[in-house]
């Protein structure tokens, strides 16, 4: 028992080991591949079929919410056009800096800022049906658009913060994101093929979840998988990781709502 406790303690003590820049290995941009490339053909077909893809149930609900004015307020479409016509392509450029607050916001954060600033409404909770639906709908307007985010100026520090998180070992398994998704992508882990870890499908439908979920839910799953304590939804570090992942996936098409294992 004492030996086992010491082993666990040693693992916990190593959970914040950050790889120095000189020791980091990066994904070759010429080898970038969507996570869909690592799926079984049946799952690829499910994502590609807009009628069969279960994520479009949330897209349809999001469209209805977008075009309907809440009580004592106005609809999203009053500013952004019917069915979000003026937002086509916008989701491919998130996360992005919010000029008013100076904070980095992801797509969920932007939707909530619109609610509080322009509609006089309360923000929606992460993973709530309404926020997932609105995010899925807005993201679907950019489906197929190449991902391109700005990491200059004030965003540079956020990008560096997200990169540090990606390369930091954590949890009792003492593993970092890059050890799977940079160093060992394409290899087998039990019955699965390790992907490159791009967030292009999110919000997406995971067969494991049997529901739609945000990219932050997936990040929390990864942290739990290495036996680290997951961060709270909306945590700044997770938003920073989203920015890093978006830049890392630059040029790949946004697939949301995607389908994953």
Q: What are phi and psi of 236, to 5 degrees?
A: -60, -40
Question: Mean pLDDT across the stretch 177-181?
Answer: 96
In this prediction, residue 16 carries a pLDDT of 59
Among 57, 71, 66, 93, residue whose Cα is nearest residue 250 = 93
Q: Which residues of 159-187 are buried (b: 16+ CB within 10 A; e: fewer)?
A: bebbbbbbbbbbbbebbbbbbbbbeebee
Percentage of the chain modeled with pLDDT above 90: 89
At residue 246, does pLDDT exceed 50?
Answer: yes
Is-catalytic flag, 114? Answer: no
- 1 pLDDT band, cuts 50/70/90, is very low
Q: Where are the domains of the chain?
A: 34-67+78-261
In angstroms and rounded to an integer, the radius of gyration of the C-alpha atoms of the chain is 19
Calculate the average pLDDT of the chain. 93
**Chain-centre distance of CA 63, in angstroms?**
21
Residue reference for tokens 């800022």: 113
In this prediction, residue 23 carries a pLDDT of 75
**CATH, range 34-67+78-261:** 1.10.760.10
**Residue 51, token pair as written in the block:** 């009628």
**Residue 29, token pair as written in the block:** 């941009």
83-88, long-range: CB < 8 A, 24+ apart: 84/137, 84/138, 84/141, 87/138, 87/141, 87/142, 88/141, 88/142, 88/145
Residue reference for tokens 């959970």: 15
pLDDT (tens digit per residue) in 114-146? 999 999 999 999 999 999 999 999 999 999 999
**Residue 122, token pair as written in the block:** 């309360």
pLDDT (tens digit per residue) in 138-175? 999 999 999 999 999 999 999 999 999 999 999 999 99
- 0.75 cut: is pTM over it? yes
Catalytically annotated residue among 15, 177, 180, 222: 222
In this prediction, residue 3 carries a pLDDT of 34
């Amino acid at each position: 028992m004492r030996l086992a406790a010491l082993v666990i303690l040693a693992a916990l003590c190593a959970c914040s080991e950050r790889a120095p820049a000189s020791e980091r290995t990066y994904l070759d941009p010429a080898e970038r591949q969507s996570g869909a490339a690592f799926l079984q053909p049946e799952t690829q077909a499910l994502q590609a079929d807009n009628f069969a893809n279960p994520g479009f149930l949330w897209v349809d609900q999001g469209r209805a919410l977008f075009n309907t004015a809440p009580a004592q307020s106005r609809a999203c479409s009053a500013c952004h056009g019917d069915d979000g016509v003026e937002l086509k392509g916008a989701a491919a450029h998130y996360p992005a800096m919010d000029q008013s607050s100076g904070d980095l916001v992801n797509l969920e954060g932007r939707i909530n800022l619109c609610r509080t600033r322009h509609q006089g409404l309360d923000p929606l909770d992460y993973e709530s049906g309404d926020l997932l639906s609105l995010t899925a709908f807005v993201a679907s307007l950019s489906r197929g658009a190449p991902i391109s985010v700005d990491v200059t100026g004030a965003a540079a520090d956020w990008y560096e913060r997200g990169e540090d998180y990606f390369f930091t070992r954590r949890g009792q398994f003492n593993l970092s994101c890059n050890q799977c998704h940079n160093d060992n992508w394409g290899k087998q882990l039990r019955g699965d093929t390790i992907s490159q870890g791009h967030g292009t499908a999110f919000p997406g439908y995971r067969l494991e979840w049997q529901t739609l979920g945000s990219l932050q839910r997936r990040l929390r799953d990864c942290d739990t998988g290495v036996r680290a304590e997951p961060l709270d939804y909306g945590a700044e570090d997770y938003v920073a990781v989203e920015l890093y992942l978006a830049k890392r996936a630059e040029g790949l098409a946004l697939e949301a709502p995607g389908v994953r294992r």
